[in-house]
Amino acid sequence: MLGLILLFPLIGFLINGLWYAVLQAPQGRKKAGSLATGLVASSAIFLSFAVGVVAFVQLAGMPEGARVIENNLFSWIKVGGLSLDFVLRVDPLSSLFVLVIAGIGTLIHVYSIGYMSHDETPGRFFAYLNLFCFSMLVLVLGGALPLLFLGWEGVGLCSYLLIGYWYQDIEKAKAGKKAFIANRVGDLGFLLGMFLIYTTFGTMDFSALREVVVQRFGGMAPAGAELAAVTGICLLLFVGCTGKSAQIPLYVWLPDAMAGPTPVSALIHAATMVTSGIYLVARLDFLYALSPTALEVMAWVGGLTAFVAATIAVVQTDIKRVLAYSTVSQLGYMFLACGVGATGAGVFHVITHAFFKALLFLGAGSVIHGMHEEQDILKMGGLKKHMPRTFLVVTVAWLAICGLPPFSGFFSKDEILWMAFASNQGNRVLWALGLLTAMMTAFYMTRMWIHTFMGSERFDHHKVHPHESPIVMVAPLYVLAVLSAAGGFMGVPHASWLAHWLEPIVPHVVPAEGVNHSMEWVLMAVSVAVALLGMFAAHRLFRDLRRPEALKARWAFIHKVLWNKWFVDELYEGALIRPIGRVSQALWRGFDVAVIDRIVLGFGRASEWSGQTLRLAQTGSLQAYAVFLLLGLVLTLGYMIYGLV
């Protein structure tokens, strides 16, 4: 049955891909419109969603603790002692991810029908989108690390293809390349981590791995070489996560990835692919729990990423860039949660974030679509009147990401902050970092919201006529708005359905001793107050556009640093890319051309010369050959009779 979940998007990919590649592209025929291709792709992913729901219901009907469905499709790799089956497995964790991927995927596919209606090659777009969903589902359904890696690489490929979808624009093609390369750096860590797991534990299947780990350590903390191995595994895999999930130091690709079409940003770079790092950590939670060092690194990287990305988002003016940095920041939150041991809270935030960030991106897409491809929020304003439906849903998402109760973002963010404060691995600094980030999040999201929908209309009325998007784009937004508003209730503190559901995979975290339980309510109030403060500050500041200008002039240096994203891209360019380029040049000229090429050419010249010389012996004269024959005969006989002379 689980194979069906994968099969439908694959079929959709093949239909659209072959239709486009075989029938449309080569003959320059009129391309199939977005409606036909989009319907194929949307129904494919919807069927997959339906099977996912069936699987979820079946899981829910099973006894607790034994909720797992496993399908062994075929024997995949058999080399020496390594035998690997193509096992698909659904458990509480992956069932949630399947629902999020296929569910939000369906909404975004439907939305794309409208968004890509003016595009020239929607068939190609939908084929890629289906292929992405297929890979992503392989990633979460795979029962072993190599299978997860297969999906991991597949989504990387699709991300590359979709970022560079409008590849005629060299900047967009470059953005795709950057994403791919940054991800490859992370993948190296992933691969090494995978190898280390295999050499340490002798298996790569998740359930077998869990058994081995439980058997070997049995609740005891590992020590010595084993601790080093576990820490190494966790850190190497985390390097993979920093690439895929856009954390420091590899986060630089995600903001550039906004070059892709907006539905892609919503699906891949907000809701699904970038959360696969969290999925990996949650999947291997039993391993991460054994390594305090890895957890601490993860918490700090997550916290710092959340903070740094939020500071950058404060000054950006491209609507999609603001959302991109916001995504990086929220992903940092999730890793912060995982790092303090509260993986369940991280997964919770993955789900709520998928709802409201997909909604924000799609809302932004709707705005961009209505504004004729304008992305600069300083050139918008007053769109409330022109796009009332989009305004409504984006407002819901805005309240959710700011963390106001009872919207979904409040519950997950609050749980993360509480865990950062109260769990054994957490501490006050991490909590303060998270709180500060929460305030900035409220601030920059309010800024974006005000700039886009409120105030005066700053666009050129002669050129731009903002209009509401068609129903096919707005309908998915409504669904997401409902989810963003109410999705948080699956994780109400102390009565969390989600934490209970995930219990077999990620154990529930209890606050450290000495932390007063009433603190939880105090912190909740604090985080709401902080969010309100951020919103209020933004409201005061951006009501009148002259005030931010004055502020900008006064803090010109800070603005410059933030506007240029802390100069990280320039730093990487100078410290890594250029030296590597120079070394490569030197190796090319000094070694490849000067040594290797010369050796190869030398062999060619030597055989040419020896051929030229030896051909002199070939006279063509019959008698000469006869003489050689005789000579050979005499020599052979002489050798046989007298031995070597």
Residue 423 token pair? 């769990």
Residue 110 token pair? 């439907």
Number of residues in contact with another protein, rule: CB under 8 A? 9
CB distance 209 to 201 below 8 Å: yes
Is 623 a residue that touches another protein (CB under 8 A)?
yes
Cα gap 491→37, rounded to integer Å: 38
Minimum distance from residue 622 beta carbon to another protein (Å) = 4
CB distance 86 to 74 below 8 Å: yes
Which residues touch 252 (CB under 8 Å, ≥6 apart)?
178, 182, 568, 569, 572
Any idea how long the chain is?
645
Residue 27's alpha-carbon distances to 30, 38, 128, 288, in angstroms, are: 9, 21, 21, 54
Nearer to another protein, 429 or 637 (CB): 637
Nearer to another protein, 218 or 611 (CB): 611
Measured in degrees and rounded to the nearest 5, phi and psi for residue 316 equal -70, 150
Is 619 a residue that touches another protein (CB under 8 A)?
yes
Nearer to another protein, 61 or 620 (CB): 620
* Among 77, 627, 634, 637, contact with another protein (rule: CB under 8 A): 627
* Among 630, 634, 635, 637, contact with another protein (rule: CB under 8 A): 630
Is 456 a residue that touches another protein (CB under 8 A)?
no
Nearer to another protein, 80 or 620 (CB): 620
Contact characters 566-605, another protein, x per CB under 8 A: ----------------------------------------
Window contacting another protein (CB under 8 A); options: 209-217, 385-393, 427-435, 624-632: 624-632
Minimum distance from residue 604 beta carbon to another protein (Å) = 23
User: Helix, strand or coil for residue 342?
Assistant: coil
Is 620 a residue that touches another protein (CB under 8 A)?
yes
Is 634 a residue that touches another protein (CB under 8 A)?
no
Nearer to another protein, 29 or 615 (CB): 615
Is 26 a residue that touches another protein (CB under 8 A)?
no
Minimum distance from residue 607 beta carbon to another protein (Å) = 20
* Among 27, 456, 613, 621, contact with another protein (rule: CB under 8 A): 621
Nearer to another protein, 73 or 627 (CB): 627
Bin 480: left if φ > 0, else alpha if -120 < ψ < 50, else beta.
alpha
Minimum distance from residue 616 beta carbon to another protein (Å) = 10
User: Helix, strand or coil for residue 80?
Assistant: coil
* Among 66, 622, 640, 645, contact with another protein (rule: CB under 8 A): 622
Contact characters 403-432, another protein, x per CB under 8 A: ------------------------------
Is 612 a residue that touches another protein (CB under 8 A)?
no
- Gyration radius of the chain's alpha carbons: 30
Is 618 a residue that touches another protein (CB under 8 A)?
yes
Query: Position 264: which residue type?
Result: V
Centre a 10 Å sphere on the Cβ of residue 583 and count the other Cβ atoms it contains.
10
Cα gap 338→274, rounded to integer Å: 15
Nearer to another protein, 168 or 618 (CB): 618
CB distance 340 to 420 below 8 Å: yes
Residue 213's alpha-carbon distances to 3, 165, 290, 380, in angstroms, are: 29, 43, 10, 56
Cα gap 302→496, rounded to integer Å: 24
Centre a 10 Å sphere on the Cβ of residue 65 and count the other Cβ atoms it contains.
8
Cα gap 231→296, rounded to integer Å: 11
Window contacting another protein (CB under 8 A); options: 112-120, 163-171, 527-535, 617-625: 617-625
Window contacting another protein (CB under 8 A); options: 98-106, 281-289, 539-547, 614-622: 614-622
Minimum distance from residue 629 beta carbon to another protein (Å) = 9
Residues that bind another protein (CB under 8 A): 618-623, 626-627, 630
